[in-house]
Amino acid sequence: MKIIVCIKQVPDSAAKVVVEGGKVSWGDAPLVINPWDEYAVEAALQQKEALGGTVTAISIGGESAKEAIKHALAMGADDAILISDPALANLDTQAAAQVLAAAIRKAGGVDMAFFGRQAIDGDSGITPSQTARLLGWPALTLSAVIKVDGGNVRVERAIEEGRQIVTAKLPAVFSLVKDFGEPRYPSFMGIRKASRAEIPAWSLGDLGMVAPATVISWPEVMNPPSREVTCEVIGGGSPQEIAEKLADKILAEKIL
């Protein structure tokens, strides 16, 4: 089983993200692997343990994207590829999908392409299905359970109404939810391997493509409006008294 995991480097989820001079800034908070992609790497490693094969992490980015890649290697991915080109600076999802689809084709012989369900910076969650569309592969997004049987796969997808059970033929694109379990910590051996790893870089030329056009732009980024909320703490002599007061206040706001 040849498994590719597409990972993205994003600012730490605990970072204080603000708009400074019209641009997004996260101060000196570190860039880390997108937390959802960590779950995807974990799921990929579990599939490799069950079925045999290799796990390759790929990421679009510059030098700093190597952190995310090295984390995936330290968790146990076998190898990694960085897709790096100055023309790839500000990609929207459909441009990223074009690049990733080209990389997956170039890697060749891929059975499963894993994605985290969304990147916590853009929060779009559509790159996996867009990549699948370009490859002409089934898009098995929001997979919570994956069972491979020969060239077929059966997944349970997490939809609003519960689970949808779907079968398809491999190769396929998957986006993962959390049900596979907490991502494993890097092992010390993995850390050693990852820190020494030489990560090959592919440029657009290597992928045989020109820079894809971006159609989505962010002409304006703003801090959210500050919500002037002062909390009124309801006190009282007994829980019953407090509850009465609170219920009255809520009903007075006419939202029930």
Footprint of other proteins on residues 169-208 (CB under 8 A)?
169, 172, 177-179, 182, 185-189, 191-192, 194-195
Separation CA 156–CA 164 (nearest Å): 6
Nearest 5°: the CA angle 88, 97, 33 is 70
CB of 247 vs other proteins, minimal distance in Å: 4
Contact between 32 and 38 (Cβ < 8 Å): no
Give the gyration radius of the chain's Cα atoms. Answer: 22
Q: Which stretch binds other proteins (CB under 8 A): 41-49, 57-65, 107-115, 165-173?
A: 165-173
Q: Please count the residues of this chain forming the interface with other proteins, following the rule CB under 8 A.
A: 97
Q: What contacts 96, CB < 8 A, 6 or more positions away?
A: 60, 127
Q: Which stretch binds other proteins (CB under 8 A): 42-50, 79-87, 104-112, 158-166?
A: 158-166
Among 54, 64, 90, 124, binds other proteins (CB under 8 A): 124
Residue number with CB closer to other proteins (167 or 203): 167
The residues in 26-55 that bind other proteins, with binding defined as CB under 8 A, are 35-36
Q: Which is nearer to other proteins, 205 or 217 (CB)?
A: 217
For 25-94, the DSSP string reads: E-TTPPEEE-HHHHHHHHHHHHHHHHH--EEEEEEE-SGGGHHHHHHHHHHT-SEEEEE--GGGSS--HH
Question: Per CB under 8 A, does 8 bind other proteins?
Answer: no
| Span 93-112, contacts to other proteins by CB under 8 A | 93-94, 97
Among 31, 79, 111, 125, binds other proteins (CB under 8 A): 125
